[in-house]
Amino acid sequence: SILVVSWLDGIILCIDLIQPDSKVVQPGQSLNISCQVSGYSLTSNSYATGWIRQREGKPMEWIVHQWGEESSRL
């Protein structure tokens, strides 16, 4: 599962998401991942959410940061 780190008033929450264990694609192919969140809303302005990926043999990297309706690729 992916770990989502969210904060509200300086309090850090760690929430597990329900998703497939892994996905494999060839270079250049697109990948869509669905995940189920509970305990808060991804579109709430009270929380920030980060998506992290880890490629085989590589360290983890932040790829998207979302704050309410706004998101940015890192």
What pLDDT sits at residue 73?
A: 64
Gap between the Cα atoms of 5 and 3, Å rounded: 6
pTM of the model: 0.50
What pLDDT sits at residue 60?
A: 87
Mean of pLDDT values over 2-20? 55
Q: Confirm if 4 and 15 have CB atoms less than 8 A apart.
A: yes
If one counts the domains in the chain, the total is 1
Given a cut of 60, whether residue 74 has pLDDT beyond it is no
pLDDT in tens, 43-66: 777 777 777 877 779 998 888 877
The pair of structure tokens assigned to 39 is 């305990």
Domain that holds residue 67: 3-20+33-73
Residue 27 counted as domain residue: no
Residue 28 counted as domain residue: no
